[in-house]
Amino acid sequence: MSQASRPVYLKLRDLIAAAIIEGRYAEGDMLPSVRAFAAEQRANPLTVAKAYQQFQTDGLVEVQRGVGMFVVKGAAEKLRQAEREVFLAQEWPEIRARMQRLGIATADLFRDA
């Protein structure tokens, strides 16, 4: 599924996941409220709530009623591992095939790095 055809709630989920992996939302940190994140992203609050619900279902955040959602211990590593698996299983084979079609060797990737 291309990025353009992905549902908005999954795109929002990816933004939050990246922030957790990068440490912008560390273990124990509170995520922005649904309304605040919706306003920041110019998204429907119901769509943001669906993205947040996915994190709760996956055990990556815990809800403190009346307070907010907090990143649980180990969430960043769990997300990093899941994203690695998706990359290696789905994205890398497409990249490798395109590199072969274009005649790009692995060494070419590091030549100007």
| 100 token code pair | 């072969």
Domain range annotation of the chain: 3-110
Domain 3-110 coded CATH 3.30.1360.170:
no
- Dist. CA 48–CA 36, nearest whole Å: 10
pTM equals: 0.81
Tell me how far CA of residue 105 lies from CA of 43, 46, 95, 100, 111, in angstroms. Answer: 41, 45, 12, 8, 10
Read off the pLDDT band of 2 (50, 70, 90): low
- Dist. CA 83–CA 87, nearest whole Å: 6
- Dist. CA 102–CA 69, nearest whole Å: 46
Digit-coded pLDDT (tens) for 53-103: 999 999 999 999 999 999 999 999 999 999 999 999 999 999 999 999 999
| Per-residue model confidence (pLDDT) at position 109 | 87
Mean pLDDT computed over every residue of the chain: 92
Residue 68, φ and ψ in degrees, nearest 5: 155, -170
